[in-house]
């Protein structure tokens, strides 16, 4: 891989790494380490949309790494969950995760995923996509068994579920792209990377 075709994922997310790896991409991982809470607070006070917040976070991650890795195509991504007009962060405890799933039960919520590609310290491409997830009216017994089986891995997900695993059983339907739910709109990203020669066309 030539210097101009180095690809870097500015995230420690195992799911995003898996998505890129399963697509056959060779890449390095270099987490951005930005202050996400500060960016979220800044944009929430300006009544920014979920897409606007997700884009701001994705771009901040990509630019932070691109400034120290100007020779690389740097991919930054983020995801925002909204439910009844409220933004949600990752649950901080299992009790909070259970409470969140009870609130979601029988209702729908939105996931907005954004991705940014930066090169030479400048944003080159910024994109967002949304999906609507319809949570089925599951029983308390199912919720108990789900929590016991999934364990603390669900704390890594803003929705307290992993759609690619047992979490699929929480839903009655999804309107939107699978990769958007995974937190990385893969097909548009691949299209851009092919256009600029960062990956093979």
175 is catalytic: no
Residue 57 contacts residue 39 (beta carbons within 8 Å): yes
Measure the CA–CA gap between 100 and 67, rounded to whole angstroms. Answer: 37
pLDDT number for residue 71:
93
Helix, strand, or coil (residue 77): strand
pLDDT number for residue 48:
66
Measure the CA–CA gap between 7 and 23, rounded to whole angstroms. Answer: 13
pLDDT number for residue 1:
39
Tokens of 169: 């059983």
Q: Which residue among the candidates 30, 35, 78, 137 is catalytic per the annotation?
A: 78
DSSP string, 151-197: GGGGGGSTTS--TTTGGGGGEEEEES-HHHHHT--HHHHHHHHHHTT
H-state helical runs in the chain: 14-22, 36-44, 50-68, 94-104, 140-150, 178-182, 186-195
* Domain residue ranges in the chain: 3-195
Mean pLDDT of the chain: 91
Positions in the chain short of pLDDT 70: 1-4, 43-48
Fold (CATH) for 3-195 = Maf protein (3.90.950)
Cα dihedral across residues 87, 188, 12, 93: positive or negative = positive
pLDDT tens track for 34-51: 877 777 777 665 556 889
Enter the pTM of the model. Answer: 0.89
CB atoms within 10 A of CB 188: 17
pLDDT tens track for 132-166: 999 999 999 999 999 999 999 999 889 999 888 88
Measure the CA–CA gap between 58 and 61, rounded to whole angstroms. Answer: 5
């Amino acid at each position: 891989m030539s210097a101009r075709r180095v690809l870097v994922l500015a995230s420690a997310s195992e799911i995003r790494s898996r998505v890129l790896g399963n697509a056959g991409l060779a890449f390095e991982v270099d987490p951005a380490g930005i202050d996400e809470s500060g960016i979220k607070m800044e944009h929430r006070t300006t009544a920014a949309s979920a897409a606007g917040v997700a884009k701001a976070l994705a771009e901040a991650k990509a630019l932070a790494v691109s400034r120290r890795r100007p020779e690389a195509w740097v991919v930054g991504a983020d995801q925002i969950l909204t439910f009844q007009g409220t933004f949600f962060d990752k649950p901080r405890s299992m009790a909070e995760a259970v409470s969140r799933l009870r609130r979601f039960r029988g209702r729908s919520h939105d996931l907005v995923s954004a991705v940014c590609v930066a090169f030479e310290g400048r944003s080159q491409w910024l994109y967002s996509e949304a999906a609507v997830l319809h949570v089925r009216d599951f029983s308390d017994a199912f919720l108990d068994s789900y929590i016991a089986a999934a364990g603390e891995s669900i704390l890594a997900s803003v929705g307290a579920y992993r759609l690619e695993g047992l979490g699929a059983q929480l839903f009655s339907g999804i309107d939107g792209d699978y990769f958007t739910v995974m937190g990385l709109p893969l097909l548009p990203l691949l299209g851009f990377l092919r256009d600029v020669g960062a990956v093979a066309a």
